[in-house]
Amino acid sequence: EYQVVIGNDTTHYIIDDLEPASNYTFYIVAYMPMGASQMSDHVTQNTLEDVPLRPPEISLTSRSPTDILISWLPIPAKYRRGQVVLYRLSFRLSTENSIQVLELPGTTHEYLLEGLKPDSVYLVRITAATRVGLGESSVWTSHRTPKATSVKAPKSPELHLEPLNCTTISVRWQQDVEDTAAIQGYKLYYKEEGQQENGPIFLDTKDLLYTLSGLARI
């Protein structure tokens, strides 16, 4: 709780430096030499939204030589600054300047780009938006699609992430039922934004779930 002392000739006061899209409760007490009055009724007010303070961190994988699966975690609440209503994905070939843009609902956390060129480097970035507008775009993240060969290689699993608490994430994946390639196991990699990559964690073919714990708090 924060308290502000106001002179007796003041009938209004501006409180700033509050968090966007947050509920604040206010009350007032009158003071005199004999003591203080009872507190007034509590009044709750919600501050307005702002644009997201930072974009989501994206992960790129390929399930075939012609696609890229883009996935991302929700922005933490203190950086979201409101309800995310839209994600804007931008992508292009590294050898071209033409940018393609897709807009997805704010409830979406992955998207499969299809019809791409094999053995080619693509650049992808994402921007989140609240009702106020778009935040800052992420940096361009590069990914090379696999080579198209006659050898039957397995497709990349479809990856799903679920935060369990502030230091634990459940990682779940599912192999395409139509994929007939012989899978010998899985390698799991992960990293904190801006830090070095961790892994690989070697997993058996029957393992389709792994829990990452002891992660850094936001």
Q: Delineate the domains of the chain, giving CATH numbers in brackets.
A: 56-143 (2.60.40.10), 156-211 (no CATH)
* Residue 78, φ and ψ in degrees, nearest 5: -70, -20
| Between 105 and 31, residue with greater pLDDT | 105
Lowest mean pLDDT among 29-38, 107-116, 199-208: 29-38
The whole-number average pLDDT for the span 9-30 is 82
CA-only gyration radius of the chain, Å? 25
- pTM of whole model > 0.75? no
How would residue 38 be classed by pLDDT, with cut points 50, 70 and 90? confident
Lowest mean pLDDT among 80-89, 116-125, 151-160: 151-160
Q: Tell me if 173 sits within 8 A of 162, measured CB to CB.
A: no
The predicted pLDDT at position 218 comes to 66
Q: Tell me which residue of 134, 143, 127 sits closest to 57, measured CA to CA.
A: 127
pLDDT at 189 over 70: yes
The predicted pLDDT at position 18 comes to 77
How would residue 156 be classed by pLDDT, with cut points 50, 70 and 90? confident
Cα 200–chain centre separation: 23
Mean pLDDT of the residues in the chain? 87
The whole-number average pLDDT for the span 83-101 is 94
The predicted pLDDT at position 123 comes to 96
How would residue 191 be classed by pLDDT, with cut points 50, 70 and 90? confident
The whole-number average pLDDT for the span 31-49 is 85
Q: Tell me if 186 sits within 8 A of 154, measured CB to CB.
A: no
pLDDT at 85 over 70: yes
Q: Tell me if 85 sits within 8 A of 134, measured CB to CB.
A: no
The predicted pLDDT at position 122 comes to 96
The whole-number average pLDDT for the span 60-74 is 91
| Between 127 and 159, residue with greater pLDDT | 127
The whole-number average pLDDT for the span 119-147 is 93
Which amino acid, one-letter code, is at 25? Answer: T
